[in-house]
Amino acid sequence: MRFFNTYSRQIEEFEPRDPASRQIKIYTCGPTVYSRAHIGNFRAYIFEDLLQRHLELRGYKVHRVMNITDVDDKTIRGARVAGVPLQQFTTQFKDAFFEDMKTLRIKRADEFPAATDHHYIDRMIEMIGTLISRGLAYQADDESVYFRINKFPNYGKLAHFDLTQLQSTGRVKHDEYDKEHIGDFALWKTWDEEDGDVRWDSPWGPGRPGWHIECSAMSTALLGDQIDIHCGGVDNIFPHHEAEIAQSEGVTGKKFVRYWLHCAHLLVDGQKMAKSLGNFYTVPDVLAKGYTGRELRYALLRVHYRVPLNFTWEGMKEARESLARIDEWLTRLHEIAEKKIHKGEGKTQSGQQFEEALDDDLNISAALGFLFDSIRETNRALDQNEMDAASAKAWLNCWERINSVLDLETETKTVVPEEVAALAKDRENARCEKNWKRSDELRDRISELGWEVRDTKDGPKLAPRAAS
Ligand code: AMP
Ligand code: ZN
């Protein structure tokens, strides 16, 4: 497996920290909950979802953390304007975020730490103390604490950024006069009236953490000093991720991240979709136009993560058409798989090309290319009555693996034949009476008819049986 590492600006072979355990630690920068996330943000989260699901398909066990930034300039300003406490203000957007994640079928991270959790605030304070004791940070005259970038020689390596050049061209206005260097960034922001009751005590007086230290504290607290992969959108590279490296490595003395993966932006008319530009859509905006979450998922997923993607309604229409082709294909395969047509040995379909395409820096275009080529080929065979049940089942098995990464199967319920529904009901009664023998017999009978009954926490569910 290979990924483009922003740190080296090269495609690198993926070698996890601990290859024997096959455990992978991933940290992904999550939303700042000052308003509802826009679909540009979700492009980043869908790319991370694709990464996680593909690693899992390849047999890795992923431990992923996604933070929630629930205190920063924007959240504080928003709460003040709304006239409500910070937590009340951010909760509504946190809830909306989880709702949209579900709509887009994005796998939940293992942890969603919130920056304001006292456990992490304590850790941030502890880290800042260590950085000061090592001369890597200082308290300025305005009482805020800043990271001293001149003391961290690797500062700028991730962004490939030459700080001396930045100074000489004078492109950055030096508006925080208390700092030693214009590039020094805040670790602890001293309290001022605008912050209202948003404040924590610290050895440097009341205040609140800077955004960057939040991520360093939450990632090292939950994943340890060293992680395999760190993701975000390209706008996170500088200063946010550059600062995370300086802070984390400044405290631990160890290499913080092995692979930095960043996704290109979602654009509208060639410009970054952003709150500040007002050119954004939210998930509910797209649903209100009659599209489904899975259609939007497909539209955001189908272009390689390092290529900027222009959002258009034409693109949404194309997503709908592509999904209709997949749906139709699956329906046809199920029909054949249920019939007892046998024309010899069914060819196994491994979907290897799909998986190999994703091994290559998540080349989704090549992966989808394989899928649609396969659909075209099998449709031809279906049209000419050349597909037997075994081959159809093989394709359905192959789809199951592909879909474990794409998660694009329709929500529309397949119609369950009356006979199968009746057998499932009988089985349910048998189970209530603890008549396991009869229940097993009925399961076999259902299976013979090409259906599978799965016992879920919401009761038994029937699905067309893919495997033989
Ligand atoms: P924020 O809530 O602004 O901290 O952003 C959350 C995530 O969304 C970050 O990883 C950003 O890099 C990413 N992001 C923001 N805007 C876009 C966009 N237009 N396209 C893709 N990713 C974005
Ligand atoms: Zn972050």
pLDDT digits (tens, 9 = 90+) for 195-219: 999 999 999 999 999 999 999 999 9
> How many other CB atoms are found less than 10 A from the CB of residue 429?
13
Continuous H helices in 339-388? 352-359, 364-383
For ligand 1, atom 7, which residue shows the shortest CA distance? 41
> How many other CB atoms are found less than 10 A from the CB of residue 242?
23
Residue 191 CA to ligand 1 centre (angstroms): 27
Comparing C-alpha atoms, which of 23, 332, 269, 5 is closest to residue 157?
5
The ligand with the least distance to the CA atom of 39 is 1
Q: What is the pLDDT of residue 174?
A: 47
Strand extents, DSSP E, 391-450: none
For ligand 1, atom 6, which residue shows the shortest CA distance? 31
Q: What is the pLDDT of residue 178?
A: 81
For ligand 1, atom 21, which residue shows the shortest CA distance? 265
Q: What is the pLDDT of residue 162?
A: 80
| pLDDT band at residue 161 under the 50/70/90 scheme | confident
The ligand with the least distance to the CA atom of 273 is 1
Residue 240 CA to ligand 2 centre (angstroms): 6
Q: What is the pLDDT of residue 413?
A: 56
Q: What is the pLDDT of residue 463?
A: 73
The ligand with the least distance to the CA atom of 268 is 1
Q: What is the pLDDT of residue 295?
A: 97
CA triple 104-107-108, angle to 5 deg: 115
Q: Kindly list the strands in the beta sheet with 61-66, ordered across the sheet, starting from the edge strand earlier in the chain.
A: 61-66, 23-28, 227-233, 257-263
The ligand with the least distance to the CA atom of 97 is 1
Residues with CB under 6 A from ligand 1: 29, 31-32, 40-41, 43-44, 232-233, 235-236, 263, 265-266, 272-274
Q: What six digits make up the tokens of 354? A: 């799909």
pLDDT above 80 (res 40):
yes
Q: What is the pLDDT of residue 170?
A: 45
pLDDT above 70 (res 105):
yes
Strand 309-310 to strand 451-456: parallel, antiparallel, or no bridges (unpaired)? unpaired
In ligand 1, the atom with minimum distance to the C-alpha of 29 is 10
In ligand 1, the atom with minimum distance to the C-alpha of 236 is 12
Whether the upstream peptide bond of residue 239 has omega within 30° of 0, thus cis, is: yes
Q: From CA 264, how far away is CA 47, in angstroms rounded?
A: 10
In ligand 1, the atom with minimum distance to the C-alpha of 31 is 2
In ligand 1, the atom with minimum distance to the C-alpha of 235 is 12
Q: From CA 162, how far away is CA 429, in angstroms rounded?
A: 72
Conformational region of residue 455, where left means phi above 0, alpha means psi within -120 to 50, and beta covers everything else: beta
For ligand 1, atom 14, which residue shows the shortest CA distance? 41
Q: What six digits make up the tokens of 288? A: 């209100």
Q: Decide: 40 and 280 in contact? Cβ < 8 Å.
A: yes
The dihedrals phi and psi of 179, each to the nearest 5 degrees, come to: -80, 155
pLDDT above 90 (res 338):
no
Burial 289-308 (b: 16+ CB within 10 A, else e): eebbbbbbbbbbbbbbbbee
463 has which bridge partners? 452
